Amino acid sequence: MNCYVIGDSADVAKTVTEYNVYAFADIVGDFCGVHLTEEYAKNTRFKKRIAQGTVSVGLPSTATGYMAAKAPQA
């Protein structure tokens, strides 16, 4: 495919919100306290709530989709 050249890139920026964390927990069933409960998270090594790690896996997928959009339609 000639639509790509070395050095092409795609950028994705996302602020993960409270809603995103709860919605993701509902979709995948990850209701771990470190994601959803501030009181629980205080007693972890993170000291505060964190988003599920797999949320970040979806972001490269978005960037890949941006790159795929450059490909010619079959």
pLDDT digits (tens, 9 = 90+) for 52-64: 998 888 888 888 8
CA 63 vs CA 22, 27, 34, 37, 45: distances in Å: 23, 22, 28, 31, 31
Q: What is the pLDDT of residues 13-51, one digit of tens each?
A: 899 999 999 999 999 999 999 999 999 999 999 999 999
Residue spans per domain, the chain: 18-62
What is the CB neighbour count within 10 angstroms for residue 2? 5
User: Of 24, 12, 14, 17, which Cα lies nearest the Cα of 52?
Assistant: 24
- Model-level pTM? 0.72
Query: What per-residue confidence (pLDDT) applies to 69?
Result: 84
| pLDDT value for 59 | 85
pLDDT at 25: 96
Q: State the pLDDT at residue 71.
A: 81
Helix (H, G, I), strand (E, B) or coil at 31: coil
